[in-house]
Structure 1
Amino acid sequence: MPVTVQKQEETGVPAHATASARCPHLGAQYNPFAGPHVDNPHAFFERLRKEEPVTFSPMLGMWLVSRHEDIVAVLKEPARFSNRDMLASGTHLTDEAKAIFSQGFDTRHVLLGMDPPEHTRLRRLMNRGFTAQRINGMAPLIQQRATELVDTFAGNGHADLVEQLAWPLPAHVILGVMGVPSEDVWKIARWSADLHQLLFEHVPPEQQVEMAQGVRELQRYCIRLIEERRANPREDLTSYLVAVEDDGEALTLDELVMAIGASLLSAGHESTTALMANTWKLALEHGLWEQLRDHRERVPKFLEEASRYDSVAHAMIRTAREDVMVGGVRIPAGARLMLLYAAGSRDESLCPHANRLDVTREKVPQHLTYGRGIHFCLGAPLARLQFQIATNVLLDRLPVLKLVPNQDHGTWQSLVLRQMKHLKVEWSTAQ
C-alpha cells in the first residue's frame, strides 16, 4: 500500500486545490455528542471509509480520518502531527472558567498533550512505574476488590454492572496503586469527571465554573499527596514518581501534579470502566457468555476482538505541523485531525468479515483502542489485567447471565471516549 501521509511538494497537488472542496458533505453530518453516532456509529463510519475517508467536520472544526492505514500513518509521524492541541479540543471556556484554570497548573504538562522531546523524557520516567513486574504485582489487589464487589450483589439475581463493578473497580485499583485512601475515591472520581468533560466535551457555560473549581481541587489534592510522600515515602506509585530520576533529573512539581492528577488518577479509570462494560455487553448481546465460561482461555482474545469490533476509545486528535496530504486530501498546516479509532479498527483491510464479532479468529488484528506509536496507552496492560480478572470472577459467580431487556444504557460520548451509565443484568439465584 502507498504511504498516505506526504508532504505536499511530493504529490504535485497545486496549492489552490483545497481539500474542503473535495470533501463537502459527510463530515457535516457527524455529531459525536448526540444521536445515532453515539449509540452506534459504525454504519456511518463504514460510509466514511468507502466514500470520504478524509472529510471536514464544520461542527468540530476538524478533519475526520477513518481508514486504518491513514490513521496509523499519522500516528507514526509525530514530527508532522502534534499532540499540542489534544487537551484544548472540547469546551470553549468562559472568562470565569479561564480565570480559575489560570490559577492552577498548565495542561501542557499532561502526557497526552505533549510532543517530543518533552514527551520522551516524561514517558520514559513514567514507564518505569508500569513495568510488567509492577503490573503483575497488582493482581492480588484486583482479585480481592473484584471479588468483594461481586459478593455484594451475587445473591440478588440482578445488578447494574457499570455502577456496581465496572465503575468502582478501576477507581479503587488505580487509587490504591497510587496510595490514595479509599474514602477519597468518590470525590477524586467526581473531580476527574470534571476534568474529562471540560477537555473533551461541550460543557454549557453555566456549569463551567463549578467544574473548573473541581479541577483545581484535584490539583490541590495532588500537591498535598506529593508533599506527604516526600516526607513519608511508601510502597506506592506516588512515592515512586516523587523519587524517580533520569540522569539526576527528577519530575518537576508541574509534571508530578499533571502525571498524578490528569494522567493517572483521572485517565486511569474512566477508559477501563468503559472498556469492561462495553465488552461484557457485547458478550451478552452476541450469546458468548457461556462460551467464555467454558473456554476461559478465550477471555483475553475476546477482549481484543471486542476492542477491535467496537472501540470505546473512539478517537484521538492531532494537529498538522505543516501542509501534508492524508489519504489523498490536502491538510493545511495548523489544521486539526480527529483520528476515528473506532472506524479504523473495523476497517475491512484489517481482517475478513471485519463487521463480525468473532472470538474464534486465529489472530485478532492489531486494533487502535490503545493507540499506536509514542502515545500508546501507558495503562493498557493494567486495563487488560483488570478486565481478565473481573470477567473470570463474574464467570465463576454468575455463569448464566443475561441482559435486562429494553433497557436504556445511558450511552454518552466525549470527543475521545464512549461510555455507558448502565449495564443491567439478571440471573437466577437458584442456579
Structure 2
Amino acid sequence: MSVPIAAVPLEDAGLPALDLRSARFADDPRAVLAEALARGPLAISRRGVEVLSYEAISQAFVSEHLDTAGPEHYTELGAGPNLLGWVDSGLLSTMGRTRHDPIRRLLLMALNFRNIEAQRTFVNETARRMAAPWLDRGEVDLVGDFTEYYPINVLSAMIGFPAADIPGFARAAHELHLLAAVPMAPGFPRIEQALADLADYVRDLLDKRRAQPGDDFVSALLAAQQDQRKLSEDELVGQLVNLIFAGMGTTTKQLASAAADIVQAGRWEYLAANPGQIGRAIDESLRFSPVTQFVVRITQEDFEFQGIRIPRGTRMLLNLLAASRDPRKFPDPGTFDISRITDDSRLPFGWGVHRCLGQPLARLLMEEGLRVMLENLTDVALVERDRGPHPAQMLGGPNSLTLTFGRR
C-alpha cells in the first residue's frame, strides 16, 4: 500500500452529497449530476463514492487498486447459492483475473470482430424478418415489437439455441435485470429461481450438443473444451447463461434509445440519406443516452485517488450518466450531435481487462437494426417514450417506445 502523505482522508474531503432519493434527482438527474460535477470529479451518495468526470473514470477503469464486485460483495448483500455460483463461475465482470483471463481468451476466439463482422448479412436479414409484421401498421412500440427480441434471435442462432426455446428462457433472463436494482436484495428470490431455470436449460442443451454436435458456438466451445480443458462444467454453464443474459439486456434498450434520440434531434431523414453515418449516430446515442448508467468497483487496498485517501473496501460508482455529459470531454454535451468526434470515448463499453466482450456484436446489432428502420420508415414521430427505471438504477432506457410513421 502506498498513499501520499498529502492525500486527504475520505471523511475529511468534503465531497458534495448526491441525494439519489430526492424528487429532483428522479425528475432531472442530469441537472443534479452536472451541478455535482461542476464542484469536482467526486461526490458521495448512499451507494458509495461517485466518480463523475470522464478523466477520473478513465483513471479508475485501469487502476490496479480497483476491481469488480466479486462473490464477497454479493455474500455481504445476502445473495443465495445460485447467484454466488454464477458470480464466481459465470460473470466475467465479477471474476478474478486468474480465472477471468483464460476464459475470456477462449470466448474471444469465437466472438472476435472478424467472426462477428462475417454475420452482418445474417443480422440484417434477421432485423428485416422481425420488422416485417409491423412495417405497414403506421405505429409501433419499438421495444415490445422489435428491439426486445431481435438481439436474442440473432445471438441464439449464432450460439446454437433453438429459436423455439427463446420464449421459455427469455422470461428467466429478464428476471436477471433485478441484478441492476438498487437495492438488489428484494429481488434475490426471483434471481435464484431464474438462474436455476437457465442453468437447467443450458445443461440440457449441452447434453444434446455432446450427443449431436452442430455448426454453432456451443458445439465449437465443447470441442475446444475437450481439447484444452480450459473450462469446468460450472464455468461452461455460467458463460452460456451469461450470453443469454447479454442477449436480453442492454442492446434492447440502447437501440430503442438511439431511434428516439435521432427522431427527437430531427436527424432521421438525414441518416436515411446518409447511411454511412449510422455508426456515428450509434456512438452519439451511447454517449447521449447510455443504458448502463454506472458500474461498481471495490477498492482492493488503501490508495490515493484524485488527491483523496480512499480506504480498502470502499464502493466506487463509476457514474457513466454523469461522465457522458462532462463538458470538458464533450463540448455542448446536452446536444445530440452526429458529427461529434467520439472515436476515443471509452465510456460505453468500459476498457481495461473488463472491457465488454460483446462490444462488436452489440454495435453490429444496433447498426443493422437502425439501418432496417431507416430504409423502411419515414415521417417518424415520437408519441410516447417510457422513461424506464429510476435514474439511480444501474440500467436505464425505455421499457416502451411508441412511434408513428409512414412506409418509405
Q: TM-score, normalised by structure 2?
A: 0.91
Structure 1 unaligned segments of length 5 or more: list them: 1-6
Q: Which amino acid aligns with 1:317?
A: V
Structure 1 pair 38/152, CA: closer, same or farther in 2 (3 Å)? farther
Query: Which residue number corresponds to residue 48 of structure 1?
Result: 36
Query: Which residue number corresponds to residue 95 of structure 2?
Result: 114
Query: Which residue number corresponds to residue 107 of structure 2?
Result: 126
Deviation at 1:172, TM superposition (A): 1.1
2:406 counterpart SS class: coil
Find the partner of 1:76 among 50, 59, 62: 62
1:28-427 superposed matches below 5 A: 29-31=19-21, 37=25, 40-58=28-46, 60=47, 62-77=48-63, 79-85=64-70, 88=73, 92-93=77-78, 98=80, 101=82, 105-109=85-89, 110-198=91-179, 200-202=181-183, 205=186, 208-245=188-225, 248-262=228-242, 264-362=243-341, 364-404=343-383, 407-413=384-390, 415-427=393-405
CA deviation string 1:314-366 (max 9, x = no partner): 11111101111222222100111110122222222223323322112355541
Structure 1 pair 265/178, CA: closer, same or farther in 2 (3 Å)? same
Q: Which amino acid aligns with 1:321?
A: Q
Cα distance in 2 for partners of 1:415, 1:70 equals 21
1:274 counterpart SS class: helix
Cα distance in 1 for partners of 2:121, 2:5 equals 55
Structure 2 unaligned segments of length 5 or more: list them: none
1:399 counterpart SS class: strand
Cα distance in 2 for partners of 1:246, 1:54 equals 48
Query: Which residue number corresponds to residue 11 of structure 2?
Result: 20
Q: Greater shift after overlay, 208-217 or 245-254? A: 245-254
Deviation at 1:283, TM superposition (A): 0.5
Over the residues paired in the alignment, what is the CA RMSD in angstroms? 2.6
Q: TM-score, normalised by structure 1?
A: 0.86
Cα distance in 2 for partners of 1:91, 1:149 equals 43
Q: Greater shift after overlay, 336-345 or 237-246? A: 237-246
2:85 counterpart SS class: coil
Q: Which amino acid aligns with 2:389?
A: W
Deviation at 1:132, TM superposition (A): 2.3
Cα distance in 2 for partners of 1:88, 1:199 equals 14
Deviation at 1:201, TM superposition (A): 4.2
Cα distance in 1 for partners of 2:350, 2:12 equals 30
Contact 1:87–1:107 under 8 Å retained in 2: no
CA deviation string 1:215-257 (max 9, x = no partner): 2111111111222222222111112222225993321111111
1:150 counterpart SS class: helix
The percentage of aligned residue pairs carrying the same residue is 24
Cα distance in 1 for partners of 2:82, 2:342 equals 46
Cα distance in 1 for partners of 2:135, 2:183 equals 38
Q: Greater shift after overlay, 110-119 or 331-340? A: 110-119
1:9 counterpart SS class: coil
Matched residue count:
406
